[in-house]
Chains A and B, each alone.
Chain A
Amino acid sequence: MSARGKLLAIIGDEDTCTGFLLGGIGELNKKRQPNFMVVEKDTPSADIEEQLKSFLGRQDIAIILISQSIADVVRHIIDAHNDPIPTILEIPSKDAPYDPSKDSILRRAKGMFSAEDFR
């Protein structure tokens, strides 16, 4: 059996998940565990948290793509996660365009330098 790489997981609305699954990232493994989660308007935040924690615990997932609007619901889990792999990447959704002020990468970059550094 040939070795294979790791997977991309996706947590987003129906259109986002459909698009990325169309791109070929989707998997249903032997345990019937998917690497995607379609979040509806009435999906409880506890379910989203549980699914994100489940993806973070899997060894075969390298990147977790999550819509920015859904990421706000589980911000505490995202901010607490510091491992390089799996990495959590926020993506814009259909309803909410990309907002650099909410992006976790750029927010961390904002705090990189202080006035002391340039003295």
Chain B
Amino acid sequence: MAADKERELDFLCLTLLELVAEIHEKKQEQEKCLQDGFLCLAKARYALGVDRVSKLHYAAEMTPNLFVDCSKSDGDHTEEKWDILKCVNSKFYESQSQEPTDSTELRRRRRGSEPDSPEDDDKELDALLQEMKVKEKPKVSSTDPLRWFAVLAPQSLRQAQTAFTKAAHVSCEICTLRNKLDATKKRYADARRTHEAALIESSSKTTEDNTAEPQKTESTD
């Protein structure tokens, strides 16, 4: 029993140290993303002008594209649960709210006396859809913050956007790891407390047994 508790304490110790190392690594990754982002912003300012990329050009109305999805970790009822924070974009919630409809399917008309097989029709349709996807170019949406600063945003500004988006994702990961660290710390403290209480109880029992034995030997004499 005591050995099991000690093993559990060792496991929790190692888990804590691993989590700290992981957090440190993620922090360094975040710093690198931010440094890249600042450098790209400086390049964009050089290209567009100092005042073009500043708070003077923030939009009067802003709608976020990045959100934080909060959920609880899996595990027993005995284990301490922590909050998992995940960075998602607005499409994540749009896709969840959309109900499946059949109106997006194209209607196919029967041609001639001999009806085509459904498989051939499907193949043609798939090929047509593939062609359409290739021809579509990525468009800047109206809620894209790139539009605040320039109609034709330079590559450096797009790169800055990518770097800061990645920094936001890494920030969410760091927060999740921190919550996990706090939960593990609490579990370690609880396990340590029970282990110490068990040790004190067992040591008091052995002292009682030791004092009882001389009394027995005296009575037999």
Binding site for B on A (CB under 8 A): 2-8, 14-28, 34-35, 38, 62-63, 65, 84-85, 87, 89, 91-92, 94, 97-98, 100, 103, 105-106, 109, 112-113, 117
Contacts and interface: CB of A to CB of B under 8 A. Distances in A.
Contact of B94 (A2, A28, A97, A106): A2
Interface stretch (B50-58, B110-118, B122-130, B204-212): B50-58
Contacts of A22: 145-146, 157, 160-161, 164
B53 A18 contact: yes
A16 B63 CA distance: 18
A23 B161 contact: yes
Given A23-B161, A24-B66, A84-B82, A18 B41 contact: yes
B193 to A, nearest CB: 12
Nearest to A95: B38
Contacts of A4: 67, 90, 93
A16 B96 CA distance: 32
B151 to A, nearest CB: 15
Interface of B: 13, 16, 20, 23-24, 27-28, 30-31, 34, 37-38, 41, 53-55, 58-70, 82-83, 85, 87-90, 92-94, 96-97, 144-146, 157, 160-161, 163-165, 167-168, 171-172, 174-175, 178-179, 181-182, 185, 188, 192
Contact of A2 (B31, B55, B69, B96): B96
A17 B20 contact: no
A118 B185 CA distance: 16
Contact of B178 (A3, A25, A105, A112): A105
B85 A87 contact: yes
B109 to A, nearest CB: 35
B83 A85 contact: yes
A94 B163 CA distance: 14
Given A19-B38, A84-B182, A87-B178, A63 B64 contact: no
Contact of A62 (B70, B160, B178): B70
Nearest to B87: A8
Contacts of A26: 58-59, 62, 64, 145
A22 B70 CA distance: 23
Contact of A28 (B27, B30, B60, B192): B60
A5 B60 CA distance: 22
Contacts of B66: 8, 23-25
Which interface residue of A6, A27, A63 has the most chain B CB atoms within 10 A?
A63
Given A6-B67, A7-B68, A24 B61 contact: no
Contacts of A94: 38
A109 B41 CA distance: 34
B67 A106 contact: no
A93 B9 CA distance: 38
A19 B179 contact: no
